[in-house]
Structure 1
């Protein structure tokens, strides 16, 4: 039993990004409330890895999703979730709350430095 636990923990450690990898990312913050995202547009440098943190301050469960950046994460009320993206090329990338019937969405604009 102890061997299985050790193998499981070592696999988990190898699959998670290290503290150094996370600190090398550009960190961006979003809030979702009952009227949508704040801010509705983020800006990031091209070619950088990103960590996007969203705090759900709405009155319901939400899902931060982006087809363009290939992520989706369920965000319970009052919680903060994190997603990884990039490095990205210059352009506009849409993100949205997939659970919103109002179609809440925003944009990440990636620019050359």
Structure 2
């Protein structure tokens, strides 16, 4: 592989800053409750959600329509990058607390 191609691939996919320039939204998960419960994002644009598990037990950010899930221990902060969305509503939930209301993302 040429050095130029390798550098291009590294800059695009392998760099630690890969998600650094994305619009970022914060989401706190505390014992199955989401704050805020609804995120409004622009349609057609990738974005990052920084997840903070501030609950007493594990949390799982999961969304079937977005094909994403992230399991986190108490006190852990992580993130997910979401592909560009069409306008609409995309629910998410904490699989450890299915009895509680879902959260959601609205792409406009």
Shorter-chain TM-score range: 0.7 to 0.9
How far off its partner does 1:99 sit?
A: 1.2
How far off its partner does 1:104 sit?
A: 4.2
Q: Which runs of 4+ in 1 moved over 4 A?
A: 13-18
Report if the CA contact (8 A) 1:63-1:74 is conserved: yes
Equivalence for 2:55: 58
Equivalence for 1:78: 75
**d(CA) in 1 for partners of 2:91 and 2:98?**
17
| Structure 1 residues without counterparts, runs of 5 or longer | 1-12
Q: Residues 56, 104 of structure 1: CA spacing in aligned structure 2 closer, same or farther, 3 A cutoff?
A: farther
Q: CA RMSD in A?
A: 1.9
How far off its partner does 1:84 sit?
A: 1.3
User: Which of 11, 24, 27 is matched with 2:24 structurally?
Assistant: 27
TM-score of the superposed pair, with normalisation by structure 2: 0.80
Report if the CA contact (8 A) 1:27-1:50 is conserved: yes
| Structure 2 residues without counterparts, runs of 5 or longer | 1-9
Superposed CA deviations along residues 15-52 of structure 1, whole A, max 9, x for unmatched, are: 54651x41332211100113611000000001110111
**d(CA) in 2 for partners of 1:39 and 1:81?**
16
- SS of the residue corresponding to residue 74 of structure 1 reads strand
**d(CA) in 1 for partners of 2:51 and 2:76?**
8
